């Protein structure tokens, strides 16, 4: 399950090598991710640019197991996978993020 720390003005989601910070005071979001050993450049965007936050479910072709991702959609068309969790945990993560953003 993803770790979510929040107060009235800031929410921080940490899961694996992904950190998402949502800040109401500045109106900005920062997404930091790491691929293998390299940190990607942090991506900053306005909270108003968030179009949707949802659970995306797939079936693994090799094992047939269900895979559930929480994903963030931006108005620019970009999509970021935030977490990979069990169905219930992914739904809970998405619910908290949507509530904070106001979706």
List residues bridging with 70 in a β-sheet. Answer: 55, 83
Sorting pLDDT into bands at 50, 70 and 90, what band is 34? confident
The pTM of the full predicted model, rounded to 2 decimals, is: 0.87
What pLDDT does residue 29 have? 96
φ, ψ of residue 95 to 5 degrees: the values are: -60, -45
Whether residue 1 is predicted with pLDDT greater than 80 in this model: the reply is no
């Amino acid at each position: 399950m993803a770790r979510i720390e929040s107060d009235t003005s800031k929410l921080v989601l940490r899961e694996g090598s992904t950190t998402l910070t949502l800040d109401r005071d500045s109106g900005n979001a920062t997404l930091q991710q790491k691929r293998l050993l390299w940190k990607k450049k942090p991506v900053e965007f306005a909270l108003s640019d968030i179009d949707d936050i949802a659970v995306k479910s797939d079936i693994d072709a090799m094992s047939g197991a269900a895979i559930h991702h929480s994903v963030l959609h931006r108005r620019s068309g970009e999509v970021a996978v935030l977490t990979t969790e069990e169905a219930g945990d992914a739904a809970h993560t998405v619910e908290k993020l949507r509530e904070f953003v106001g979706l």
